[in-house]
Structure 1
C-alpha cells in the first residue's frame, strides 16, 4: 500500500487587496512576513502546485492522501476554499483523503471560534472508530484496506502572539490514542499518525520551546517501532527518521508548495509495517 504525504501548502490570499481593518492586528503583523519576508512570492503558485500533487495521487493510484496541516497562510475563508478546489475530487472522500489543521489554520481566535477549518474540511475528520474521540473530532481513525490505519491528532492551538507556534496534543487525545492502538480492529495494521507539529527536527532533536511539539516523548511511548509512523509538517524541510525500539518512523513533508522546495513523500506499507518512503516532486518524478 502507498500513502502520499504533503504538508504546509500555505494557500495565500491577496492580502494587500483586502480591507485592512477587517484583517485584524495579527494579520497586520503577518503581512510583513508576506512582503519583506518573501512569503507572498514563495507561495504565489501554491494552488496550482497543490492541484498537481493531487493529480499525482490520482495518477499513481496511492491508497490514501494525507495533508498534515497549514493548509492556509493565515486562516481566511478564501484560502480554505482555494485549497479545497485545488484538491478536487480527493477532498470529497474521507476514505481517500485526510487533512488536519496546522497552526496557520487557527491563526486568530476568530478563525478558531467560527470553526473555519471545519467548515471546509470537517467532513474529512470522520472516524471509523468514533468511540476513541476525546477532543472534538480527535483522535479520529480511518481504516485503509486491510493493512493500514490513518490516525489524525490535533496539535495546532491558537497562538497567543504571532511567532509563538508551539503545539501540544494533550492528555485527553493521548489517552484516546493509547486505547485506540490496543483495539483488536487495528491488529496487523500499520498505523500512520498525522499531527502538524514536528516531534523531532532534521537533526533528530526536539524543536525549540516556542515552535516544537511539547508532548512528543509521550506520543513516542505509545507508538514505538516499525509498525507506526508520525507524519508531520511545520518545519519546512523534508526528512525521514527511521523507527527504533523507542520511537516510530518520522516523516516530515516540509513545505510541499514552497517555490524551489516543492515535493512530498510516498510512504510504503507492507505486511502491516511501514517499510520506507520516497521523495517526489509534483509531476510524479523522484527527487
Structure 2
C-alpha cells in the first residue's frame, strides 16, 4: 500500500486587495511576514502546486492522500475555499483523503470559534471507529484497505499572540488514541498517525518551546516500532527518522508548495508494517 503525504501548503489570499479593518490585528502583524519575510512570494503559486500534488494523489498505486495541516496562510475564508478547490475530486472521497488542521488554520480566535476549517473539511474528519473520539472529531480513524489505518489528531489551538506556534494533542486525545490501539479491528494493520506539530525536528531533537509539540514524548510512547508512523508538518523541512524498537517512523513533509522546495512523501506499507518512504516533486 502507498500513501502520499504533504503538508503546509499555505494557500494565500491577496491581503492588500482586502479591507484592512476586516483582517484583525493578528493578520496586520502577519503582513510583515507576508511582505518583508517573503511568504507571499514563496506561496504565490501554492494553489496550482497543490492541484498538481492532488492529481498525483489520485494516480494508480496511491491508496490514500494525507495533508497534515496549514492549508491556509492565515485562516481566511477565501483561503479555505481555494484549498478545497485545489484538492479537486479528492476532497469528495473520505476513503481516499485525510486532512487535519494546522496552527495557521486556527490563526485567529474567530476562525477557530466559527469552525472555519470544519465548514470546508469537516466531512473528512468522519471516523470508522467513532467511539474513540474524545475532543470533537479527534482522534478519528480511517481504515485503509486490509493493511493500514490512518489516525487523525489535532494539535493546533489558538494561541495568545503571533510568534507563538506550539501545539498540544492533550490528555483526552492521547487517552482515545491509547484506547483505539487496543481495538482488535486494528490488529495486523500499520498505523499512520497524522498530527500537525513535529514530535522531533530535522536534527531528531525536541523542537523549541515556542514552536514544538508540547506532549511529543507522551505521543511517541504509545507508538513503538515500525508498525507505526507519525506524519507531520509545521517544520518546513522534509525528513524521515526511521523507527526504532521504542519509537515510530517520523515523516516531516516540509512545506509542499513553497517555491523551489515543492514536494511530498510516498510512504509504503507492506505486511502491516511501514517499510519506508521516498521523496517526490510534483509535475508542475
Does the alignment pair 1:145 with 2:124? no
Give SS of 1:59's match. Answer: coil
Paired with 2:239 and 2:224, the residues of 1 have a C-alpha distance of 19
Q: Which residue of 1 aligns with 2:62?
A: 62
Deviation track 1:7-37 (CA, whole Å, cap 9, x = no partner) reads: 0000000001100001000000000100000
Q: Which residue of 2 aligns with 1:226?
A: 226
Deviation track 1:172-201 (CA, whole Å, cap 9, x = no partner) reads: 000000000110000000000000000000
Q: Which residue of 2 aligns with 1:270?
A: 270
Deviation at 1:66, TM superposition (A): 0.2
- Provide the TM-score with structure 2 as the length reference: 0.99
Q: Which residue of 2 aligns with 1:181?
A: 181
Q: Which residue of 1 aligns with 2:108?
A: 108
- Provide the TM-score with structure 1 as the length reference: 0.98
Deviation at 1:65, TM superposition (A): 0.2
Within a 5 Å distance, the mapping from 1:86-101 to structure 2 comes to 86-101=86-101
Deviation at 1:59, TM superposition (A): 2.3
Q: Which residue of 1 aligns with 2:23?
A: 23
Question: What runs of 5+ residues in structure 2 fail to find an aligned partner?
Answer: none
Q: Which residue of 1 aligns with 2:134?
A: 134
Give SS of 1:84's match. Answer: helix
Deviation track 1:34-84 (CA, whole Å, cap 9, x = no partner) reads: 000000000000000000001111224310000000000000011000001
Give SS of 2:172's match. Answer: helix
Give SS of 1:202's match. Answer: coil
Q: Which residue of 2 aligns with 1:36?
A: 36
Deviation track 1:83-114 (CA, whole Å, cap 9, x = no partner) reads: 01000000011100000000000000000000
Paired with 1:157 and 1:266, the residues of 2 have a C-alpha distance of 28
Does the alignment pair 1:71 with 2:106? no
Coordinate RMSD, CA, aligned: 0.8
Does the alignment pair 1:194 with 2:194? yes
Paired with 1:58 and 1:234, the residues of 2 have a C-alpha distance of 24
Paired with 1:217 and 1:259, the residues of 2 have a C-alpha distance of 33
May I ask how many residue pairs the two structures share in their alignment?
Answer: 284
Deviation track 1:111-141 (CA, whole Å, cap 9, x = no partner) reads: 0000000000000000000000000000000
Paired with 2:60 and 2:226, the residues of 1 have a C-alpha distance of 24
Paired with 1:35 and 1:220, the residues of 2 have a C-alpha distance of 37
Does the alignment pair 1:250 with 2:250? yes
Q: Which residue of 2 aligns with 1:205?
A: 205
Give SS of 2:219's match. Answer: helix
Deviation track 1:256-287 (CA, whole Å, cap 9, x = no partner) reads: 00001000000000000000000000029xxx
4+ residue segments displaced more than 4 Å: none
Q: Which residue of 2 aligns with 1:217?
A: 217
